[in-house]
């Protein structure tokens, strides 16, 4: 990719990126070196995509931000063994992309797949038996709770999120803390994908989109693969 476009992409991304880490700029820069752009055509990993927008900078930015899974973790095969909710979300995203007129919603749904994947991964890690421990108090034992139900239980019972440990670790009660929790199961590229994609998802969900987005099915496959890989690692390392 020409330096002009590359600099524009990096400047635009780090203008809104909430959770950057030191190596992110280097990783993104290397990825952009492998992207070719000519006219309306963008080429990555021998795959060609036609993007019909007059402004080249906005064209490349919109395509890049809508396809972070494909660019950051590469072309990957989709997983057919995700949970029912994740599978439905995956299939709904394919259908939206096929319609080719709800690109913002399709991108939002794709990155929601990643967000839900984080919560499902934590639920996998919890296992069947959950131990909530508090200093000076008896342990609370719960069985077969997922992330959502556990978070609701803690809130409804007025238990301080920061005063407890769940299965020996602090409870990740926010998106940022859940991202931090997942770091131990992620390589650097996967970590960057989750952090950046969820940032884009949050902007889309709050009507802050400033881009014309162009998601493709390859990215849904890569998002599915990344979620499945994370869940596998959490299942292996569960308590």
Sorted by where each begins, the domain ranges of the chain are 3-122+177-236
Strands of 129-134's sheet in order across? 140-143, 129-134, 164-166, 169-170
Alpha helices in the chain (DSSP H): 3-16, 24-33, 56-66, 68-73, 84-99, 103-126, 147-156, 175-182, 188-205, 217-236
Residues in the chain: 239
Among residues of the chain, what percentage have pLDDT more than 70?
Answer: 98
* Mean pLDDT score of the chain: 92
State residue 101's pLDDT score.
86
Torsion over CA of 191, 192, 194 and 200, rounded to 10 degrees?
A: 170
pLDDT range class, residue 239, cuts 50, 70, 90: low
State the DSSP code for 130: E
Q: Is residue 102 classed as helix, strand or coil in its secondary structure? A: coil
Cβ contact 231:190 at 8 Å = no
CA neighbor of 112 nearest in space, from 55, 166, 175, 63? 175
pLDDT for residue 238 is more than 70: no
* Cα–Cα distance for residue pair 205/201, rounded to 1 Å: 6
Cβ contact 150:130 at 8 Å = yes
Is the model more confident about 80 or about 56? 80
Tens of pLDDT, residue by residue over 79-129, are 999 999 999 999 999 999 999 889 999 999 999 999 999 999 999 999 999
* Residue 139 vs residues 123, 124, 133, 155, 166: alpha-carbon distances, Å: 19, 21, 5, 17, 10
């Amino acid at each position: 990719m020409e330096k002009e476009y590359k600099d524009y992409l990096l400047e635009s991304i780090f203008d809104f990126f909430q959770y950057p880490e030191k190596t992110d700029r280097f990783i993104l820069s290397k990825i952009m070196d492998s992207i070719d752009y000519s006219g309306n055509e963008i080429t990555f990993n021998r795959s060609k995509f036609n993007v019909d927008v007059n402004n080249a900078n906005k064209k490349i930015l919109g395509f890049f931000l809508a396809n972070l899974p494909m660019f950051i973790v590469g072309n990957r095969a989709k997983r057919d063994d995700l949970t029912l909710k994740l599978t439905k979300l995956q299939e709904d995203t394919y259908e939206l992309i096929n319609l080719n007129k709800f690109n913002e919603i399709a991108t939002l749904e794709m990155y929601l797949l990643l967000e839900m994947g984080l919560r499902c991964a934590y639920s996998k890690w919890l296992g069947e038996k959950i131990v909530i421990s508090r200093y000076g108090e008896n342990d609370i034992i719960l069985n077969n709770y997922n992330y959502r139900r556990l978070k609701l239980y803690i809130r409804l019972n007025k238990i301080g999120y920061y005063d407890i440990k769940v299965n020996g670790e602090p409870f990740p009660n926010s998106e940022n803390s859940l991202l931090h929790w997942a770091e131990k199961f992620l390589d650097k590229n996967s970590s960057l994908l989750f952090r950046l994609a969820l940032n884009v998802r949050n902007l889309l969900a709050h009507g802050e989109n400033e881009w014309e987005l162009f998601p493709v099915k390859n990215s849904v496959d890569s998002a599915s693969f990344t979620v499945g890989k994370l869940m596998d690692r959490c299942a292996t390392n569960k308590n």
